[in-house]
Copies of this chain bind each other. A is one copy, B any other.
């Protein structure tokens, strides 16, 4: 019922980059992982992967770091999921049958499809830009709420 952590981390990192990074002001792994409460090295791995796949660019050295390679409005959520997890999850049968098919459906098919495909549609339409817009207006957050003890 969810994305892998890798996808989640990737999406949140990309949102952070969209908000904070420009080609002039790059952002490093340390900052991202600290601000978003993500495991640092693992986040690094994921971002390096996104660089290889072309979604993100990076530069080494002082003032180096990561930044978006394309406008945030051109990167959909599904783009990210596909790069990271490989987008097969949205085709699978909800009961794990070898094939999800309208002509040989499992007893959950109709109900499951509605939600699976609905979520896929949202993921296909929404871009990183759409997401961060809500953060910009203060209607949403990408940083964890800190528990006050």
Q: Report the minimum CB–CB distance from A39 to chain B (whole Å).
A: 12
B1–A95 contact, CB under 8 A? no
B3–A96 contact, CB under 8 A? yes
Copy total for this chain: 2
- List CB contacts (< 8 Å) of A72-98 with chain B: 77, 89-90, 92, 94-98
B109–A140 contact, CB under 8 A? yes
A96–B8 contact, CB under 8 A? yes
Interface assignment of A118: CB less than 8 Å from any CB of chain B = yes
A107–B134 contact, CB under 8 A? yes
A145–B2 contact, CB under 8 A? no
With A119-B112, A142-B107 known as contacts, the answer to whether A1 contacts B96 (CB < 8 A) is: no
- Distance in angstroms between the alpha carbons of A140 and B95 in the assembled complex: 12
Q: Which single residue of chain B is at the shortest CB-CB distance from A12?
A: B95
Set of chain B residues within 8 Å of A59, measured between Cβ atoms: none
Set of chain B residues within 8 Å of A133, measured between Cβ atoms: 107
Q: Which single residue of chain B is at the shortest CB-CB distance from A143?
A: B97
Partner of A135, one of B15, B90, B107, B131: B107
Partner of A1, one of B3, B104, B108: B3
